[in-house]
Chain A
Amino acid sequence: MSNELKVPTMAELFAAGQQPEVLFWVGCAGSFDDRAKKITKAFVKILNKANVSFAVLGTEESCTGDPAKRAGNEFLFQMQAVTNIEVMNAYGIKKVVTACPHCFNTLKNEYPGLGGEYEVVHHTQFLKQLLAEGRISMEGGQFKGKRITFHDPCYLGRANGVYEAPRELIRKLDAELVEMKNCKKKGLCCGAGGAQMFKEPEKGDKDVNIERTEQALETQPEIIAAGCPFCNTMMTDGVKNKEKESAIAVLDIAELIATAEDL
């Protein structure tokens, strides 16, 4: 796990007169949150291994504006969007990949109306594509036969209809994919969306992430797989709340693959 990460920035490539195949949109969580940074690194390791030509915006990237928009602040959202679009268009970006379903949804669906038209894919879709093209290979290795349940991120699943890519990757690990009673279209929110991540929940009987974690625990998993840094945090907190953190790991699909390939 020691080899250094190669993370070119758009500015560097631009200066060298190069255009990468894809822009990796890291997102705020992926850049700053300690847990999410591990997901970012795992994904970069896979990109490096597969020799994908990619770049990040680095310090030129700014919040997509998703949490502002879901909180109701359309002004702030559009300010962010317009600024980001200016940067991306200046670099002539065509394709974007991101490990955050919130960034994915916003870039894919809400930026085009403001002048930002890109092909946007979620990292699980991108990984599936790399696999199909033979640019990465996967063997189950240490995940062979492990019980893994997948928590559908609302903004990937219900919001955009992506259910299969993450599941296909889990199956490729030779793992046993067990579904929760609420999955796919009927998946239950982790409780972080709609800007809830940044505020205390309203009064109630329990928090949403606890409810969801209970559903996950019902499947008696060894691993809870996630495809969103926010879901990851919520499920990790839930597992801790149930004092199951020594028995059950919460891992992003990118982390699963990077670990399986011993990257």
Chain B
Amino acid sequence: MAYLPQIIFAVLLVLGIGFFAKNVKRLSRNIKLGKDVDVSDNKSQRWKNMAKIALGQTKMVVRPIAGLLHVIVYVGFIIINIEVLEIVLDGLLGTHRLFAPLGTVYDILIGSFEILALLVVVAVVAFWIRRNIIRLKRFMKPEMEGWPKQDGNLILYIELVLMFLFLTMNGADYQLQQMGADHYVQAGSFPVSQFLGPIFAGMSESTLILVERSAWWLHIVGILMFLNYLYYSKHLHILLAFPNTYYGNLKPKGQFKNLEAVTNEVKLMMDPSADPFAGPAEDAPVPEKFGASDVTDLSWVQLLNAYTCTECGRCTSECPANQTGKKLSPRKIMMDTRDRLQEVGKNIEANKGAFVADGKQLLGDYITNEELWACTSCNACVEACPVSIDPLSIIMDMRQYLVMEQSAAPTDLNNMMGNIENNGAPWPFNQMDRLNWTQEQ
């Protein structure tokens, strides 16, 4: 029976990681529903971007307060993983503070974890205040009601509890070390949790062990639960920010892609030797749909974008359309895309691997024409996003669908396009008058 805790631990670990792996598979299947795009170019630039933007957090600190708080939580998260490694090994081997023989290095490590844990608590409280008391405007937009709001707070509570458990575990451990309890080796330095002393004063050794063990178990179980919560949450960004910044757009922001299917048709139309009455060749592929009306018309990078979105709303707060009260919110575009993609994914699972038409699509059921037409294509959202998401590309793809598949442009735009077609200018002026300005005083 001596091995029971180790067995229970191993089972929990396998379950936790196994369940997570299953969700990762789902995630990758959903992302692969997107169209293929070639992003194999410029590898060195891509690695650099990932190092700078995801690892180096360069775009986070554009807003200094949120940036600093985020860096604390982020560094805390990374460093604490070393501690988690020790916990996992201890759990599997039945040891306690396995890394203790590192001596001074160990003391410094544990000491710095403790300080970071405290800083994380401070940062999390500040984040909570920003969301719930100061109520920053960008967290109060309509798309943030309900689950997105809860999700944002939930993670703060989880982080708080995890840090609290970590410090309790250390605090009790410290007391036990002082008492010279069996199994509790003298190791580590406890610059924060030693101040929890008064709470433990007067507790017997067995009570302290109970406290220490409970905190230890809850801490690791909490971490496993957190891991599995990710898939259902915007907190997926802590993993996806890395691939997403790697695959981020490297071209000038103003350069929109030239649709190849259109190029082929235009060439044919302009080619004087082509027979205008010839029907399509027998083996011609089904003509491609122009633009996007549902998630499967988007590229996999755009779908990855949707899963990576942290709902921070920096895009929306910089968007001129949103700032002037229009319905468009680039964050909502990303959230809608993710929601619809989740829905499509569930549909596929329910129907044994094949999507069965559900009479819904991204355009219309999630995103309205009014939102799409409000965009000035200014790229403010793209610039603002701290994890290289491009909401504008989705907006443009959907506009293409509206115009080329549905002829559903606003009347004014139809007039403009008619003018370009007939006069070579968006206004109803004659092309032959293009030089008139040279004669006018």
* A and B bind: yes
Q: Which residues of A contact B (CB under 8 A)?
A: 5, 7, 9, 26, 28, 30-33, 37, 40-41, 56, 58-59, 61-63, 65, 67-76, 78-80, 82-83, 105, 108-110, 113-114, 154-155, 158-161, 185-189, 191-208, 210-212
Return chain B residues, CB-CB under 8 Å to A61.
424, 434
In contact, B263 and A78 (Cβ under 8 angstroms): yes
Assuming the A-B contacts A63-B425, A72-B399, A159-B254, are A154 and B416 also in contact, with contact meaning beta carbons closer than 8 angstroms in the complex?
no
A87 CB to nearest chain B CB (Å): 11
Q: Determine the distance from Cα of A37 to Cα of B404 in the docked complex, in whole angstroms.
A: 33
In contact, B412 and A75 (Cβ under 8 angstroms): no
Return chain A residues, CB-CB under 8 Å to B404.
72-75
Return chain B residues, CB-CB under 8 Å to A105.
252, 254-255
In contact, B377 and A202 (Cβ under 8 angstroms): no
Return chain B residues, CB-CB under 8 Å to A202.
321, 326-328, 370, 373-374
Near A by CB (< 8 A), chain B positions 30-80 give none
A72 CB to nearest chain B CB (Å): 3
B358 CB–A CB distance under 8 Å? no
Return chain A residues, CB-CB under 8 Å to B440.
37
In contact, B429 and A32 (Cβ under 8 angstroms): yes
Q: Determine the distance from Cα of A143 to Cα of B325 in the docked complex, in whole angstroms.
A: 37
Return chain B residues, CB-CB under 8 Å to A31.
425, 429, 433-437
Return chain A residues, CB-CB under 8 Å to B85.
none
A158 nearest CB neighbor, chain B only:
B379
In contact, B379 and A199 (Cβ under 8 angstroms): no
- Can you offer 30 A-B residue contacts whose CB atoms are under 8 A? A26-B434, A32-B429, A56-B435, A58-B435, A59-B432, A59-B434, A59-B435, A70-B396, A72-B400, A72-B403, A73-B403, A73-B409, A73-B417, A76-B417, A76-B420, A79-B421, A105-B252, A113-B258, A114-B263, A154-B378, A159-B252, A159-B253, A160-B252, A189-B376, A191-B376, A202-B370, A202-B373, A203-B370, A204-B326, A212-B320
Q: Determine the distance from Cα of A62 to Cα of B246 in the docked complex, in whole angstroms.
A: 39
Return chain A residues, CB-CB under 8 Å to B320.
188-189, 191, 208, 211-212
B259 CB–A CB distance under 8 Å? yes
A182 nearest CB neighbor, chain B only:
B318
Return chain A residues, CB-CB under 8 Å to B174.
none
Tell me which of A33, A74, A198 has the highest count of chain B C-beta atoms within 10 A of its own C-beta.
Answer: A74
Tell me which of B267, B401, B403, B425 has the highest count of chain A C-beta atoms within 10 A of its own C-beta.
Answer: B425
In contact, B324 and A207 (Cβ under 8 angstroms): yes
Q: Determine the distance from Cα of A194 to Cα of B393 in the docked complex, in whole angstroms.
A: 12
Return chain A residues, CB-CB under 8 Å to B373.
199, 202
A111 nearest CB neighbor, chain B only:
B258
In contact, A199 and B412 (Cβ under 8 angstroms): yes
A75 nearest CB neighbor, chain B only:
B262
Contact with A along B354-371 (1 / 0, CB 8 A): 000000000000000010
7 closest pairs, A vs B, by CB? A159-B254, A205-B325, A194-B377, A72-B399, A62-B424, A109-B255, A204-B325
In contact, B265 and A75 (Cβ under 8 angstroms): yes
B335 CB–A CB distance under 8 Å? no
B426 CB–A CB distance under 8 Å? yes
B301 CB–A CB distance under 8 Å? no
In contact, B417 and A68 (Cβ under 8 angstroms): yes
B409 nearest CB neighbor, chain A only:
A71
B143 CB–A CB distance under 8 Å? no
Return chain A residues, CB-CB under 8 Å to B436.
31
B384 nearest CB neighbor, chain A only:
A186
Assuming the A-B contacts A67-B420, A72-B400, A205-B325, are A32 and B376 also in contact, with contact meaning beta carbons closer than 8 angstroms in the complex?
no
Return chain B residues, CB-CB under 8 Å to A26.
434
Q: Determine the distance from Cα of A169 to Cα of B440 in the docked complex, in whole angstroms.
A: 28
A253 CB to nearest chain B CB (Å): 19
A159 CB to nearest chain B CB (Å): 3
In contact, A200 and B412 (Cβ under 8 angstroms): yes
Return chain A residues, CB-CB under 8 Å to B438.
5, 7
B317 CB to nearest chain A CB (Å): 11
B254 nearest CB neighbor, chain A only:
A159
Q: Determine the distance from Cα of A11 to Cα of B438 in the docked complex, in whole angstroms.
A: 16
Return chain B residues, CB-CB under 8 Å to A206.
324-325
In contact, B255 and A71 (Cβ under 8 angstroms): no
In contact, B410 and A199 (Cβ under 8 angstroms): yes
In contact, A74 and B434 (Cβ under 8 angstroms): no
B28 CB–A CB distance under 8 Å? no
A36 nearest CB neighbor, chain B only:
B437
B375 CB–A CB distance under 8 Å? yes
Assuming the A-B contacts A105-B255, A109-B255, A159-B252, are A189 and B424 also in contact, with contact meaning beta carbons closer than 8 angstroms in the complex?
no
